[in-house]
Chain A
């Protein structure tokens, strides 16, 4: 049974990745017309265009082009960036030490803020504390992360001079200076995300609070605090986890935008440079990485859920 679920998720993962690659290939390489003309401009010389077409393999039939791109992935060859004349994978690898810690730490911070807030709010629905938390969450949900970032820069960088307004010190300069340049980006990313997640935590916990095991725990004389943290929260964690998987897409998009606000040398800056320079191999590579990581995380979350809760294994076919 477990093996079946594992195989199912693996098949799903591969199918989704293939579908995503077709999608990206079609949108970037096929739909706009001639990629060579797009990259060089319409007034470029015909022989230059022809040379670029040949270099990119655009003179091959489309299925051959697609196959070459996909086979490249399997050999860890994402193609070569036109503007940097460097393998796309190398460029991406240079940026990951900024983007990955930022994304992972902001996810951790989001969870650390959201779960206690959601739980306290669900503890006594309608109480003064619950109302306060809910108004706060509704306001934080409406905060544009860019604006929050600018407000943080105004107060903590320009006003108080505690933290840098942007740029990245680099991990080589030591863990603390590097981390210091990530604190404001982390807060700007995590606060609005935490508002969304806390609302979900609250809703799921309120849902679970209606179930019979809660009544049973109460009948056995357990304290409300005990029931909340040790009975309701663990049972609500699975749906919370699966929604966090879906939120991962927001996290990726948020990270890319916030990196731009703080001029951090991460994937965000790489892909926006690629857009202005029409560096198609680089755009495809980064897009595939971003989409692929969302797909991977979601399949992993589904798999974990099925491992933890045997009831989900029976219906897991439905979500592929």
Chain B
């Protein structure tokens, strides 16, 4: 793939992400359309309701647009927690082999034992169901993901001559990590951010499905799937539409993540692959 085409594709992806963010911001405008109107329940697709209505008479299109907000804000919160803590940890661990770096790596392995679902179950009593519980639970699991990726990307850089020169000049490890290492690994970080946004949206849907995510009346794609399940025979579209919304947005972010990591590592462009979820 030529690099010009590659750039066009990546900017196309960015444009779609911006559209997605605008839709999420439009949630308050949608509110009047997803009020409960029992008299309008289970309306088919029509000019008034482009995607029909659900069993409570809420407009499905408005619910889908409103659902952008929950998934985007939960995924973004999880990425801010994961990257905000994980990136510094990963860079710190990469700077030298000592007790501190080994402890960071061990802590990483430990946090990997807490999938978002289990954390959400545990903290549910403290924060209840909502954006905070979902964001924290997914964010905790994101920490070791970011730390591991950044550790792997930064580790080989510390033996380079210009880093040794910076050390000789008396710069501290923290200063070197912030000034010299971070810019070099930023593309890896952005690729991982995009990937984790996608996986965060996926995780939010799962949590909302089982009732640990956002609560009504805020619309959520995961809960739409849950509510649609009993109506699968009479109104299958209610289950199909929110699933498409989840799959499309997850695809957008994970695909962008792949493209960005091609960009981060041109050697692997054309048939590379990236770190696990």
Contact = CB atoms under 8 A, between A and B. Distances in A.
Given A20-B110, A20-B113, A144-B205, A287 B118 contact: yes
B225 A257 contact: no
B272 A143 contact: no
A28 B124 CA distance: 9
A270 to B, nearest CB: 11
A252 B273 contact: no
Contacts of A278: 125
Given A20-B110, A146-B206, A125 B115 contact: no
A24 interface: yes
B147 interface: no
A308 interface: no
> Chain B's interface: helix, strand, loop or mixed, by majority?
helix
Interface in B107-159: 109-110, 112-118, 121-126, 141
Contacts of B174: none
Given A144-B246, A287-B121, A290-B118, A126 B113 contact: no
A284 to B, nearest CB: 9
Given A147-B247, A200-B276, A253-B206, A272 B211 contact: yes
A139 B255 CA distance: 9
B96 to A, nearest CB: 12
Residue in B112, B270, B276 whose Cβ sees the most chain A Cβ within 10 Å:
B276
B190 interface: no
Nearest to A135: B255
A141 interface: yes
A126 B270 contact: yes
B125 A250 contact: no
Given A142-B198, A249-B112, A206 B106 contact: no
B236 A154 contact: yes
Contacts of B126: 27, 31-32
Contact of B250 (A125, A142, A196, A243): A142
A256 B206 CA distance: 10
A153 B114 CA distance: 30
Given A147-B246, A275-B121, A260 B113 contact: no
B251 A153 contact: no
Contacts of B116: 253
Interface in A230-272: 243, 246-247, 249-250, 252-253, 256-257, 260-261, 271-272
Contacts of B240: 151
A290 B120 CA distance: 13
Interface in A143-159: 143-147, 150-151, 153-154, 158
Interface stretch (B3-11, B25-33, B226-234): B226-234
A141 B254 contact: yes
Contacts of A256: 117, 210
Residue in A141, A147, A249 whose Cβ sees the most chain B Cβ within 10 Å:
A147
Nearest to A125: B271
Nearest to A126: B271
Contact of A250 (B115, B233, B255, B271): B115
A173 interface: no
A138 B206 contact: no
A contact residues, range = 35 or more
Contacts of B247: 139, 142-144, 147
A302 B274 CA distance: 22
Contacts of B112: 246, 249, 294, 298
Contacts of A138: 251, 254-255, 258
B221 to A, nearest CB: 8
B206 A144 contact: yes
Interface string A278-306: 10100100010011001100100000000
Given A147-B243, A319-B106, A253 B118 contact: yes
Given A24-B122, A150-B225, A243-B276, A16 B246 contact: no
A250 B277 contact: yes
Contacts of A196: 276-277
B105 interface: yes
A206 B274 CA distance: 11
A147 B239 contact: yes
A247 B276 contact: yes
A200 B229 CA distance: 33
Interface string B251-277: 100110010000000000011111011
Interface in A129-178: 130, 134, 138-139, 141-147, 150-151, 153-154, 158
Contact of A144 (B105, B243, B255): B243
Nearest to A148: B243
A109 interface: no
A294 B114 CA distance: 8
Interface string B31-49: 0000000000000000000
Contacts of B106: 12, 319-320
Given A24-B122, A320-B106, A144 B277 contact: no
A294 B118 CA distance: 11
B122 A318 contact: no
A246 B205 contact: no
A246 B236 contact: no
9 contacts: A32-B126, A142-B246, A142-B250, A144-B225, A147-B225, A203-B272, A249-B114, A287-B122, A319-B106
6 cross-chain pairs, A with B, having the tightest CB-CB distances, nearest first = A147-B243, A203-B273, A125-B271, A142-B251, A253-B117, A142-B250
